[in-house]
């Protein structure tokens, strides 16, 4: 299955980040908070802004930012 943009996900759950596109301030912000390649994240609340749990804490992120995050479902 091709990676989906995190903004297209409709059911909360665990995901593996495949890639984060683009650069710029928001992307650095995502990456340093733990949303970068191969990391496991949990989409907690869908909406704009959405809530993602990563590296042990919860982060509120505008839709426009998570559009550039591509994920695959996490399979244990």
Partner 1 sequence: MKLSSAIAHRNIVIVGNPNAGKTLLFNRLTGLQAKTANYPGVTVDFREATAKLAGESFQIIDLPGLYSLDAISPEEQITRDFLTGAANAEITSPDLVLLVLDATNLRRNLFLASQVLELSLPVVVAVNVIDVARSRGIDVDIDSLSSRLQCPVVAVSAKTGEGIRKLEEQLVKATRSEELISEPLPSCTSGCKGCHFAARHDWAQKVICDSTSKVSSTSTVPFEMDRLLTHPVFGVVTFVLLMLFVFYMIFSFATLPMNLIDGAFTALGGWLREVIPSTKSRPAVWFGVVMMCATVCGLLICYAARIRFTTFRTLVLLAVATTVSLLPAKELQSLLADGVVTGVGGMLVFLPQICILFFFISLLEDSGYMARAAFVMERIMRCVGLPGKAFVPMLSAHACAIPGIMSARVIENWRDRLTTILVLPLLTCSARLPVYAMIASLLFLGSAMKAALVFVGAYLLGITAALCSAWLLKRTILPGEAIPLVIELPEIRWPSLRNALLTLVDRAIIFIRQAGTIILLISVFLWVLASYPQLPEKDAANILLQHSGENTAAQRLAQAEIEYSAAGRVGRFVEPVFAPLGFDWQINIGVMTSFAAREVVVSTLAIVYGIGEDAAENKTTLIETLRRQKRPNGSPVFTTATSVSFLVFFVLAMQCLPTQAVTRRETGSWKWAILQFTFMSCLAYLASLATYQLCCLWGLG
Does 55 sit near partner 1 (CB under 8 A)? yes
Please report how close the Cβ of residue 8 comes to partner 1 at its closest, in angstroms.
17
Please report how close the Cβ of residue 75 comes to partner 1 at its closest, in angstroms.
19
d(CA 74, CA 76): 6
> What are the tokens at 4?
């989906």
* Segment 19 to 48, residues that bind partner 1, using CB under 8 A: 24-26, 28-34, 36-39, 45, 47-48
Does 3 sit near partner 1 (CB under 8 A)? no
Positions that interact with partner 1 (CB under 8 A):
24-26, 28-34, 36-39, 45, 47-49, 51, 55-62, 64-65
């Amino acid at each position: 299955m091709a990676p989906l943009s995190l903004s297209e996900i409709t059911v909360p759950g665990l995901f593996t980040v495949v890639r984060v596109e683009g650069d710029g301030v928001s992307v650095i912000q995502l990456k340093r908070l733990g949303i970068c390649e191969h990391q496991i994240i949990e989409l907690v609340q869908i909406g704009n802004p959405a809530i993602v749990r990563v590296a042990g804490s919860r982060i509120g992120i505008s839709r426009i930012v998570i559009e550039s995050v591509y994920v695959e479902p996490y399979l244990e």
